[in-house]
Chain A
Amino acid sequence: MAAYFRRVLLGAFAVMPVLALSPLLAGRALAAAPSAATAKAFIDSSGQKLVSIINGAGSTSQKAAQLRALVNNIVAVDQIGKFVLGRYYRVATPAQRSEYMQLFHQTLAYNITTQIRAYKGVTFKTGRVTSGPEGEMVSTEVSRQGQAPAHVQWVVDTVGGQPKIVDVVVEGTSLRVTERSDYSSVINDHGGQVEALLSAMKRQLSRMQAG
Protein backbone atom coordinates (compact mmCIF):
# COMPACT_ATOMS: atom_id res chain seq x y z
CA MET A 1 0.00 0.00 0.00
CA ALA A 2 2.75 2.37 1.01
CA ALA A 3 4.59 1.49 -2.16
CA TYR A 4 1.48 2.28 -4.17
CA PHE A 5 1.12 5.73 -2.61
CA ARG A 6 4.75 6.44 -3.13
CA ARG A 7 4.38 5.63 -6.80
CA VAL A 8 1.35 7.89 -7.14
CA LEU A 9 3.11 10.71 -5.34
CA LEU A 10 6.24 10.31 -7.40
CA GLY A 11 4.13 10.25 -10.51
CA ALA A 12 2.36 13.42 -9.41
CA PHE A 13 5.67 15.14 -8.80
CA ALA A 14 6.91 14.02 -12.15
CA VAL A 15 3.85 15.47 -13.89
CA MET A 16 3.71 18.70 -11.88
CA PRO A 17 6.39 20.65 -13.74
CA VAL A 18 4.65 19.82 -17.02
CA LEU A 19 1.31 21.00 -15.61
CA ALA A 20 2.89 24.19 -14.39
CA LEU A 21 4.33 24.80 -17.84
CA SER A 22 1.14 24.01 -19.71
CA PRO A 23 -0.27 27.55 -19.76
CA LEU A 24 3.05 28.65 -21.22
CA LEU A 25 2.94 25.88 -23.78
CA ALA A 26 -0.61 26.81 -24.74
CA GLY A 27 0.50 30.41 -25.02
CA ARG A 28 3.33 29.39 -27.30
CA ALA A 29 1.01 27.37 -29.47
CA LEU A 30 -1.24 30.43 -29.85
CA ALA A 31 1.73 32.59 -30.77
CA ALA A 32 2.70 30.26 -33.62
CA ALA A 33 1.63 30.87 -37.20
CA PRO A 34 -2.11 31.40 -37.66
CA SER A 35 -4.18 28.75 -39.43
CA ALA A 36 -4.50 28.93 -43.18
CA ALA A 37 -8.17 29.90 -42.90
CA THR A 38 -7.43 32.69 -40.40
CA ALA A 39 -4.64 34.05 -42.58
CA LYS A 40 -6.83 34.03 -45.68
CA ALA A 41 -9.77 35.69 -43.93
CA PHE A 42 -7.41 38.30 -42.52
CA ILE A 43 -5.91 39.14 -45.91
CA ASP A 44 -9.39 39.18 -47.44
CA SER A 45 -10.80 41.67 -44.95
CA SER A 46 -7.64 43.82 -44.86
CA GLY A 47 -7.59 43.93 -48.65
CA GLN A 48 -11.26 44.93 -48.81
CA LYS A 49 -10.60 47.80 -46.39
CA LEU A 50 -7.56 48.90 -48.39
CA VAL A 51 -9.42 48.85 -51.70
CA SER A 52 -12.42 50.70 -50.27
CA ILE A 53 -10.14 53.47 -48.98
CA ILE A 54 -8.20 53.80 -52.24
CA ASN A 55 -11.27 53.73 -54.47
CA GLY A 56 -13.49 55.64 -52.03
CA ALA A 57 -14.34 59.31 -51.84
CA GLY A 58 -12.18 61.91 -50.12
CA SER A 59 -9.07 63.92 -50.84
CA THR A 60 -5.67 62.32 -51.23
CA SER A 61 -4.54 63.57 -47.82
CA GLN A 62 -7.64 62.12 -46.13
CA LYS A 63 -7.05 58.81 -47.85
CA ALA A 64 -3.39 58.90 -46.85
CA ALA A 65 -4.30 59.35 -43.19
CA GLN A 66 -6.82 56.49 -43.35
CA LEU A 67 -4.30 54.25 -45.11
CA ARG A 68 -1.59 54.97 -42.55
CA ALA A 69 -3.93 54.02 -39.72
CA LEU A 70 -4.94 50.84 -41.52
CA VAL A 71 -1.34 49.87 -42.32
CA ASN A 72 -0.25 50.35 -38.72
CA ASN A 73 -3.12 48.07 -37.77
CA ILE A 74 -2.52 45.21 -40.22
CA VAL A 75 1.25 45.33 -40.82
CA ALA A 76 3.85 44.38 -38.19
CA VAL A 77 5.89 47.50 -38.96
CA ASP A 78 8.17 47.22 -35.91
CA GLN A 79 9.02 43.59 -36.64
CA ILE A 80 9.74 44.34 -40.29
CA GLY A 81 11.87 47.34 -39.31
CA LYS A 82 13.91 45.19 -36.96
CA PHE A 83 14.39 42.53 -39.62
CA VAL A 84 15.44 45.11 -42.19
CA LEU A 85 18.14 46.54 -39.92
CA GLY A 86 19.32 42.95 -39.43
CA ARG A 87 22.65 42.47 -37.73
CA TYR A 88 23.09 46.20 -37.27
CA TYR A 89 20.17 46.22 -34.84
CA ARG A 90 22.53 44.78 -32.23
CA VAL A 91 25.24 47.32 -33.03
CA ALA A 92 22.92 50.34 -32.86
CA THR A 93 22.62 52.34 -29.65
CA PRO A 94 19.15 52.54 -28.02
CA ALA A 95 18.84 56.14 -29.24
CA GLN A 96 19.73 55.08 -32.78
CA ARG A 97 17.22 52.23 -32.61
CA SER A 98 14.33 54.45 -31.64
CA GLU A 99 15.28 57.08 -34.21
CA TYR A 100 15.54 54.37 -36.86
CA MET A 101 12.11 52.98 -36.00
CA GLN A 102 10.59 56.44 -36.20
CA LEU A 103 12.21 57.07 -39.60
CA PHE A 104 11.13 53.64 -40.81
CA HIS A 105 7.49 54.36 -39.92
CA GLN A 106 7.67 57.76 -41.63
CA THR A 107 9.27 56.36 -44.79
CA LEU A 108 6.58 53.70 -45.04
CA ALA A 109 3.87 56.31 -44.59
CA TYR A 110 5.30 58.46 -47.40
CA ASN A 111 5.69 55.50 -49.68
CA ILE A 112 2.03 54.67 -49.17
CA THR A 113 0.93 58.23 -49.87
CA THR A 114 2.83 58.42 -53.14
CA GLN A 115 1.32 55.13 -54.33
CA ILE A 116 -2.34 56.08 -53.84
CA ARG A 117 -2.91 57.57 -57.25
CA ALA A 118 -1.16 54.73 -59.06
CA TYR A 119 -3.46 52.22 -57.40
CA LYS A 120 -6.77 53.90 -58.22
CA GLY A 121 -9.27 51.29 -59.41
CA VAL A 122 -7.33 48.41 -57.88
CA THR A 123 -9.06 45.08 -57.33
CA PHE A 124 -7.78 41.84 -55.89
CA LYS A 125 -8.75 38.25 -55.25
CA THR A 126 -7.24 35.82 -52.80
CA GLY A 127 -6.06 32.39 -53.86
CA ARG A 128 -4.18 29.51 -52.31
CA VAL A 129 -2.56 29.56 -48.90
CA THR A 130 0.74 27.76 -48.36
CA SER A 131 2.80 27.36 -45.23
CA GLY A 132 6.22 28.97 -45.35
CA PRO A 133 9.03 29.18 -42.82
CA GLU A 134 8.04 32.77 -41.94
CA GLY A 135 4.29 32.17 -41.65
CA GLU A 136 1.27 31.47 -43.82
CA MET A 137 1.65 32.74 -47.38
CA VAL A 138 -1.61 33.98 -48.88
CA SER A 139 -1.53 34.33 -52.68
CA THR A 140 -3.47 37.17 -54.26
CA GLU A 141 -3.94 38.48 -57.76
CA VAL A 142 -3.83 42.26 -57.78
CA SER A 143 -5.29 43.93 -60.88
CA ARG A 144 -4.86 47.55 -61.83
CA GLN A 145 -6.31 49.38 -64.79
CA GLY A 146 -4.06 49.22 -67.81
CA GLN A 147 -1.66 46.71 -66.27
CA ALA A 148 -1.21 42.99 -66.32
CA PRO A 149 -2.42 41.41 -63.04
CA ALA A 150 0.37 40.91 -60.54
CA HIS A 151 0.79 37.87 -58.32
CA VAL A 152 1.47 39.04 -54.80
CA GLN A 153 1.96 36.83 -51.75
CA TRP A 154 1.33 38.13 -48.25
CA VAL A 155 3.14 36.47 -45.40
CA VAL A 156 0.95 36.44 -42.30
CA ASP A 157 2.19 35.65 -38.80
CA THR A 158 0.79 36.07 -35.31
CA VAL A 159 2.26 39.18 -33.69
CA GLY A 160 1.00 40.18 -30.26
CA GLY A 161 -1.89 37.72 -30.51
CA GLN A 162 -3.16 39.19 -33.78
CA PRO A 163 -2.55 38.10 -37.36
CA LYS A 164 -0.29 40.65 -39.04
CA ILE A 165 1.47 41.00 -42.37
CA VAL A 166 5.20 40.40 -41.91
CA ASP A 167 6.33 40.33 -45.55
CA VAL A 168 5.18 40.87 -49.13
CA VAL A 169 6.52 38.65 -51.91
CA VAL A 170 6.16 39.85 -55.51
CA GLU A 171 7.32 37.56 -58.33
CA GLY A 172 9.50 35.64 -55.92
CA THR A 173 11.15 38.72 -54.45
CA SER A 174 10.62 39.49 -50.77
CA LEU A 175 10.11 43.09 -49.81
CA ARG A 176 11.88 42.90 -46.47
CA VAL A 177 14.87 40.96 -47.84
CA THR A 178 15.27 43.58 -50.58
CA GLU A 179 14.98 46.42 -48.07
CA ARG A 180 17.53 44.75 -45.85
CA SER A 181 20.14 44.56 -48.59
CA ASP A 182 19.38 48.16 -49.56
CA TYR A 183 19.88 49.47 -46.02
CA SER A 184 22.84 47.27 -45.15
CA SER A 185 24.58 48.37 -48.33
CA VAL A 186 24.37 52.00 -47.17
CA ILE A 187 25.79 51.06 -43.77
CA ASN A 188 28.54 48.96 -45.37
CA ASP A 189 29.62 51.70 -47.72
CA HIS A 190 30.13 53.94 -44.70
CA GLY A 191 32.32 51.63 -42.66
CA GLY A 192 29.51 49.96 -40.73
CA GLN A 193 28.13 53.20 -39.26
CA VAL A 194 24.39 53.04 -38.47
CA GLU A 195 24.45 56.84 -38.32
CA ALA A 196 25.06 56.91 -42.11
CA LEU A 197 21.80 55.01 -42.69
CA LEU A 198 19.86 57.35 -40.44
CA SER A 199 21.11 60.45 -42.26
CA ALA A 200 20.40 58.81 -45.65
CA MET A 201 16.85 58.05 -44.51
CA LYS A 202 16.42 61.63 -43.33
CA ARG A 203 17.67 62.98 -46.64
CA GLN A 204 15.25 60.73 -48.51
CA LEU A 205 12.35 61.80 -46.31
CA SER A 206 13.03 65.49 -46.87
CA ARG A 207 13.31 64.82 -50.61
CA MET A 208 9.94 63.05 -50.55
CA GLN A 209 8.36 65.84 -48.54
CA ALA A 210 9.68 68.42 -51.00
CA GLY A 211 8.61 66.52 -54.12
Chain B
Amino acid sequence: MGIVMKSVLPLLAAGCLLAGCATPPPQSNKAAFEAYQQQNDPLKPFNKASYHFDNVLDTYVLRPVAIGYIDVTTPGIRRHVGEFMSNTDAPAQLLEFMAAGKPRDAGTTLVRFLVNSTVGIGGLFDPAGALGYHKVYTDVGLTLAGYGVPEGPYLYLPFAGPSDLRDATGIPASIVLNPTFPAPPSTGLTIFNYGSDALSVVNTRAELHGTISNIKKTSLDPYATFRSLYRQHRAAELQDINKRDVATPPAWYSAAQRKAMKHAEYDSTN
Protein backbone atom coordinates (compact mmCIF):
# COMPACT_ATOMS: atom_id res chain seq x y z
CA MET B 1 0.00 0.00 0.00
CA GLY B 2 2.85 2.36 0.86
CA ILE B 3 4.45 1.80 -2.51
CA VAL B 4 1.13 2.22 -4.25
CA MET B 5 0.47 5.53 -2.57
CA LYS B 6 4.02 6.73 -3.16
CA SER B 7 3.93 6.04 -6.86
CA VAL B 8 0.50 7.53 -7.33
CA LEU B 9 0.84 10.66 -5.23
CA PRO B 10 2.79 12.58 -7.90
CA LEU B 11 0.06 11.68 -10.38
CA LEU B 12 -2.59 12.93 -8.01
CA ALA B 13 -0.68 16.11 -7.32
CA ALA B 14 -0.29 16.71 -11.05
CA GLY B 15 -4.01 16.22 -11.56
CA CYS B 16 -4.83 18.71 -8.81
CA LEU B 17 -2.39 21.26 -10.14
CA LEU B 18 -3.67 20.99 -13.68
CA ALA B 19 -7.35 21.28 -12.99
CA GLY B 20 -7.83 21.75 -9.28
CA CYS B 21 -9.48 19.35 -6.87
CA ALA B 22 -13.18 19.61 -6.20
CA THR B 23 -13.93 21.39 -2.95
CA PRO B 24 -15.86 19.13 -0.61
CA PRO B 25 -19.06 20.64 0.79
CA PRO B 26 -18.96 21.53 4.52
CA GLN B 27 -19.81 18.67 6.87
CA SER B 28 -22.67 20.73 8.29
CA ASN B 29 -24.55 20.21 5.02
CA LYS B 30 -25.16 16.53 5.72
CA ALA B 31 -26.97 15.52 2.52
CA ALA B 32 -24.45 17.23 0.24
CA PHE B 33 -21.50 15.85 2.19
CA GLU B 34 -22.88 12.29 2.03
CA ALA B 35 -23.51 12.62 -1.68
CA TYR B 36 -19.94 13.89 -2.17
CA GLN B 37 -18.51 10.94 -0.28
CA GLN B 38 -20.68 8.46 -2.15
CA GLN B 39 -19.51 9.79 -5.51
CA ASN B 40 -15.90 9.30 -4.36
CA ASP B 41 -14.73 11.60 -7.12
CA PRO B 42 -12.57 14.34 -5.55
CA LEU B 43 -10.70 14.85 -8.83
CA LYS B 44 -13.91 15.61 -10.68
CA PRO B 45 -12.70 18.83 -12.38
CA PHE B 46 -9.66 17.02 -13.82
CA ASN B 47 -11.76 13.96 -14.68
CA LYS B 48 -14.43 15.97 -16.42
CA ALA B 49 -11.80 17.83 -18.43
CA SER B 50 -10.29 14.55 -19.65
CA TYR B 51 -13.76 13.16 -20.27
CA HIS B 52 -14.53 16.09 -22.55
CA PHE B 53 -11.15 15.75 -24.26
CA ASP B 54 -11.83 12.07 -24.95
CA ASN B 55 -15.32 12.89 -26.14
CA VAL B 56 -14.02 15.35 -28.73
CA LEU B 57 -11.40 12.83 -29.82
CA ASP B 58 -14.08 10.16 -30.06
CA THR B 59 -16.54 12.31 -32.00
CA TYR B 60 -14.03 13.44 -34.64
CA VAL B 61 -11.64 10.50 -34.90
CA LEU B 62 -12.47 7.26 -33.18
CA ARG B 63 -16.20 7.07 -33.81
CA PRO B 64 -16.00 7.77 -37.59
CA VAL B 65 -13.14 5.26 -37.92
CA ALA B 66 -15.10 2.66 -35.96
CA ILE B 67 -18.19 3.18 -38.12
CA GLY B 68 -16.08 2.74 -41.27
CA TYR B 69 -14.54 -0.37 -39.72
CA ILE B 70 -17.98 -1.80 -38.94
CA ASP B 71 -18.93 -1.21 -42.58
CA VAL B 72 -16.02 -3.18 -43.99
CA THR B 73 -15.97 -6.01 -41.43
CA THR B 74 -18.44 -8.69 -40.41
CA PRO B 75 -19.35 -9.43 -36.78
CA GLY B 76 -17.40 -12.68 -37.18
CA ILE B 77 -14.21 -10.85 -38.16
CA ARG B 78 -14.59 -8.45 -35.23
CA ARG B 79 -15.07 -11.35 -32.85
CA HIS B 80 -11.94 -13.13 -34.13
CA VAL B 81 -9.91 -9.92 -33.88
CA GLY B 82 -11.10 -9.57 -30.29
CA GLU B 83 -10.14 -13.16 -29.58
CA PHE B 84 -6.68 -12.63 -31.10
CA MET B 85 -6.17 -9.57 -28.87
CA SER B 86 -7.23 -11.33 -25.70
CA ASN B 87 -4.94 -14.25 -26.59
CA THR B 88 -1.91 -11.94 -26.80
CA ASP B 89 -2.86 -10.76 -23.33
CA ALA B 90 -2.93 -14.31 -21.93
CA PRO B 91 0.75 -14.54 -20.82
CA ALA B 92 0.33 -11.38 -18.75
CA GLN B 93 -2.89 -12.72 -17.26
CA LEU B 94 -1.20 -16.02 -16.43
CA LEU B 95 1.41 -14.15 -14.39
CA GLU B 96 -1.27 -12.00 -12.76
CA PHE B 97 -3.38 -15.00 -11.77
CA MET B 98 -0.27 -16.66 -10.33
CA ALA B 99 0.67 -13.51 -8.44
CA ALA B 100 -2.88 -13.27 -7.13
CA GLY B 101 -2.77 -16.88 -5.91
CA LYS B 102 -5.55 -18.13 -8.18
CA PRO B 103 -4.22 -21.50 -9.42
CA ARG B 104 -7.44 -22.64 -11.08
CA ASP B 105 -7.71 -19.53 -13.25
CA ALA B 106 -3.96 -19.60 -13.92
CA GLY B 107 -4.33 -23.16 -15.21
CA THR B 108 -7.30 -22.22 -17.36
CA THR B 109 -5.35 -19.29 -18.84
CA LEU B 110 -2.33 -21.48 -19.59
CA VAL B 111 -4.41 -24.16 -21.34
CA ARG B 112 -6.33 -21.52 -23.27
CA PHE B 113 -3.11 -19.84 -24.42
CA LEU B 114 -1.48 -23.11 -25.51
CA VAL B 115 -4.55 -24.46 -27.30
CA ASN B 116 -5.69 -21.23 -28.90
CA SER B 117 -2.20 -20.19 -30.06
CA THR B 118 -1.72 -23.55 -31.85
CA VAL B 119 -5.02 -25.18 -32.79
CA GLY B 120 -6.71 -21.77 -32.73
CA ILE B 121 -4.19 -20.35 -35.26
CA GLY B 122 -2.49 -17.72 -33.15
CA GLY B 123 -5.59 -17.03 -31.11
CA LEU B 124 -7.93 -16.13 -33.97
CA PHE B 125 -10.24 -18.96 -32.94
CA ASP B 126 -11.28 -20.19 -29.52
CA PRO B 127 -11.19 -24.02 -29.56
CA ALA B 128 -10.26 -24.01 -25.85
CA GLY B 129 -13.67 -22.54 -25.06
CA ALA B 130 -15.29 -25.45 -26.88
CA LEU B 131 -13.21 -27.83 -24.73
CA GLY B 132 -14.71 -26.30 -21.60
CA TYR B 133 -11.89 -23.86 -20.78
CA HIS B 134 -14.01 -20.73 -20.83
CA LYS B 135 -12.55 -17.25 -20.98
CA VAL B 136 -11.34 -15.82 -17.69
CA TYR B 137 -10.14 -12.28 -17.22
CA THR B 138 -7.86 -10.38 -14.88
CA ASP B 139 -5.43 -7.47 -14.96
CA VAL B 140 -2.99 -5.77 -12.63
CA GLY B 141 -5.74 -3.70 -11.00
CA LEU B 142 -7.79 -6.78 -10.18
CA THR B 143 -4.69 -8.54 -8.84
CA LEU B 144 -4.09 -5.60 -6.49
CA ALA B 145 -7.76 -5.73 -5.53
CA GLY B 146 -7.31 -9.38 -4.58
CA TYR B 147 -4.70 -8.23 -2.07
CA GLY B 148 -7.22 -5.87 -0.54
CA VAL B 149 -6.05 -2.64 -2.17
CA PRO B 150 -9.13 -0.38 -2.25
CA GLU B 151 -10.18 1.14 -5.58
CA GLY B 152 -9.50 4.68 -4.39
CA PRO B 153 -10.99 7.78 -5.98
CA TYR B 154 -12.32 7.68 -9.51
CA LEU B 155 -10.04 8.73 -12.35
CA TYR B 156 -10.84 9.51 -15.96
CA LEU B 157 -7.65 9.39 -17.96
CA PRO B 158 -7.16 11.04 -21.33
CA PHE B 159 -6.89 8.29 -24.00
CA ALA B 160 -7.27 5.49 -21.41
CA GLY B 161 -10.81 6.31 -20.27
CA PRO B 162 -12.50 5.46 -16.95
CA SER B 163 -10.24 4.13 -14.21
CA ASP B 164 -9.51 4.55 -10.54
CA LEU B 165 -6.40 5.12 -8.49
CA ARG B 166 -5.74 1.39 -8.05
CA ASP B 167 -6.30 0.43 -11.67
CA ALA B 168 -4.28 3.39 -12.99
CA THR B 169 -1.37 2.30 -10.79
CA GLY B 170 -1.37 -1.01 -12.64
CA ILE B 171 -1.02 0.53 -16.10
CA PRO B 172 2.82 0.73 -16.17
CA ALA B 173 3.07 -2.87 -14.96
CA SER B 174 0.67 -4.07 -17.62
CA ILE B 175 2.81 -2.43 -20.31
CA VAL B 176 5.87 -4.31 -19.02
CA LEU B 177 3.87 -7.58 -18.89
CA ASN B 178 2.91 -7.36 -22.57
CA PRO B 179 4.65 -10.20 -24.46
CA THR B 180 6.12 -7.78 -27.04
CA PHE B 181 7.85 -5.74 -24.31
CA PRO B 182 10.81 -8.08 -23.62
CA ALA B 183 11.24 -8.94 -27.33
CA PRO B 184 14.37 -7.48 -28.99
CA PRO B 185 13.53 -4.23 -30.79
CA SER B 186 13.13 -4.43 -34.56
CA THR B 187 11.31 -2.48 -37.26
CA GLY B 188 8.93 -5.37 -37.82
CA LEU B 189 8.02 -5.50 -34.16
CA THR B 190 7.46 -1.75 -34.02
CA ILE B 191 5.13 -1.92 -36.99
CA PHE B 192 3.32 -4.89 -35.45
CA ASN B 193 2.95 -3.03 -32.16
CA TYR B 194 1.48 0.12 -33.71
CA GLY B 195 -0.72 -1.96 -35.98
CA SER B 196 -2.07 -4.23 -33.27
CA ASP B 197 -2.58 -1.38 -30.80
CA ALA B 198 -4.52 0.65 -33.35
CA LEU B 199 -6.55 -2.37 -34.43
CA SER B 200 -7.28 -3.24 -30.82
CA VAL B 201 -8.55 0.26 -30.06
CA VAL B 202 -10.70 0.44 -33.19
CA ASN B 203 -12.04 -3.09 -32.75
CA THR B 204 -12.99 -2.47 -29.13
CA ARG B 205 -14.63 0.83 -30.01
CA ALA B 206 -16.58 -0.89 -32.79
CA GLU B 207 -17.74 -3.66 -30.44
CA LEU B 208 -18.97 -1.01 -27.98
CA HIS B 209 -20.49 1.24 -30.65
CA GLY B 210 -24.14 0.44 -29.91
CA THR B 211 -23.65 0.53 -26.15
CA ILE B 212 -21.84 3.87 -26.09
CA SER B 213 -24.27 5.69 -28.36
CA ASN B 214 -27.15 4.26 -26.32
CA ILE B 215 -25.72 5.53 -23.05
CA LYS B 216 -25.05 8.97 -24.50
CA LYS B 217 -28.58 9.12 -25.86
CA THR B 218 -30.50 7.90 -22.83
CA SER B 219 -28.60 9.18 -19.80
CA LEU B 220 -28.97 12.64 -18.36
CA ASP B 221 -25.37 12.77 -17.17
CA PRO B 222 -23.24 10.41 -19.30
CA TYR B 223 -20.13 11.18 -17.22
CA ALA B 224 -21.82 9.93 -14.03
CA THR B 225 -23.31 6.97 -15.87
CA PHE B 226 -19.93 5.82 -17.21
CA ARG B 227 -18.47 6.25 -13.72
CA SER B 228 -21.14 4.05 -12.19
CA LEU B 229 -20.88 1.44 -14.96
CA TYR B 230 -17.09 1.26 -14.62
CA ARG B 231 -17.25 0.67 -10.88
CA GLN B 232 -20.01 -1.91 -11.10
CA HIS B 233 -18.22 -3.73 -13.91
CA ARG B 234 -14.94 -3.91 -11.98
CA ALA B 235 -16.73 -5.16 -8.88
CA ALA B 236 -18.44 -7.85 -10.96
CA GLU B 237 -15.11 -8.92 -12.52
CA LEU B 238 -13.57 -9.24 -9.08
CA GLN B 239 -16.57 -11.20 -7.84
CA ASP B 240 -16.29 -13.60 -10.80
CA ILE B 241 -12.62 -14.27 -10.02
CA ASN B 242 -13.37 -14.96 -6.36
CA LYS B 243 -16.33 -17.16 -7.25
CA ARG B 244 -14.13 -19.42 -9.38
CA ASP B 245 -11.36 -19.55 -6.77
CA VAL B 246 -12.26 -22.85 -5.10
CA ALA B 247 -10.27 -25.94 -4.23
CA THR B 248 -10.31 -29.03 -6.47
CA PRO B 249 -11.86 -32.02 -4.66
CA PRO B 250 -9.05 -34.38 -3.59
CA ALA B 251 -8.82 -37.63 -5.53
CA TRP B 252 -9.39 -39.76 -2.42
CA TYR B 253 -12.76 -38.14 -1.65
CA SER B 254 -15.83 -40.32 -2.13
CA ALA B 255 -18.13 -39.51 -5.04
CA ALA B 256 -20.72 -38.08 -2.65
CA GLN B 257 -18.16 -35.83 -0.95
CA ARG B 258 -16.81 -34.61 -4.28
CA LYS B 259 -20.30 -33.88 -5.48
CA ALA B 260 -21.19 -31.99 -2.31
CA MET B 261 -18.02 -29.92 -2.54
CA LYS B 262 -18.49 -29.14 -6.20
CA HIS B 263 -22.12 -28.35 -5.74
CA ALA B 264 -21.50 -25.95 -2.90
CA GLU B 265 -18.80 -23.91 -4.53
CA TYR B 266 -18.09 -24.34 -8.18
CA ASP B 267 -20.33 -24.54 -11.17
CA SER B 268 -18.39 -25.41 -14.28
CA THR B 269 -21.20 -24.17 -16.53
CA ASN B 270 -20.69 -20.62 -15.35
Residues of A that sit less than 8 Å from B by CB: 87, 91, 111, 114, 118, 128, 146-148, 171-174, 177-178, 181-186, 188-189, 191-192, 197, 200-201, 204
Contacts and interface: CB of A to CB of B under 8 A. Distances in A.
A177 B228 contact: yes
Contacts of B196: none
Contacts of A148: 75, 79, 207
Interface in B221-270: 221, 223-225, 227-229, 232-233, 235-237, 239-240, 267, 269-270
A177 B75 contact: no
B210 A183 contact: no
Contacts of B31: 87, 91, 192
A171 B232 CA distance: 9
B220 interface: yes
Given A146-B75, A171-B233, A172-B233, A186 B225 contact: no
Given A111-B218, A173-B236, A178 B35 contact: no
Contacts of A185: 39, 220-221, 223-224
Nearest to B222: A182
Contacts of A201: 220
Nearest to A184: B35
Contacts of B220: 182-183, 185-186, 197, 200-201, 204
B233 A182 contact: no
A35 B267 CA distance: 21
A206 B54 CA distance: 27
Contact of B235 (A114, A118, A172): A172
Given A146-B74, A178-B225, A182-B221, 19 more contacts: A114-B217, A128-B270, A147-B75, A148-B75, A148-B207, A172-B232, A172-B239, A173-B229, A177-B228, A178-B228, A181-B224, A181-B225, A181-B227, A182-B225, A182-B228, A185-B224, A186-B221, A188-B32, A188-B36
Given A87-B31, A173-B236, A178-B228, A189 B75 contact: no
B219 interface: yes
Interface in B180-226: 207, 210, 217-221, 223-225
Contacts of B75: 146-148
A88 B243 CA distance: 35
Contacts of B207: 148
Contacts of B39: 185, 188
Contacts of A147: 75, 210
Of B217, B228, B237, B270, most buried by chain A (CB within 10 Å of CB) is B228
A181 B35 CA distance: 10
Contacts of B79: 148
Interface string B29-49: 001100110010000000000
**Interface SS of chain A: helix, strand, loop or mixed?**
helix
Nearest to A150: B211
B118 to A, nearest CB: 24
Contacts of A181: 224-225, 227-228
B227 to A, nearest CB: 7
A185 B228 CA distance: 10
A201 B229 CA distance: 20
A182 B219 contact: yes
Contacts of B235: 172
B25 to A, nearest CB: 10
Contact of A192 (B32, B233, B269): B32
A178 B221 contact: no
Of B32, B79, B220, B240, most buried by chain A (CB within 10 Å of CB) is B220
The 6 tightest CB contacts between A and B, nearest first, are A172-B236, A185-B224, A181-B228, A173-B232, A185-B221, A146-B75
A177 B232 contact: yes
Contacts of B228: 173, 177-178, 181-182
Contacts of B233: 171-173
A204 B225 CA distance: 15
Contacts of A128: 267, 269-270
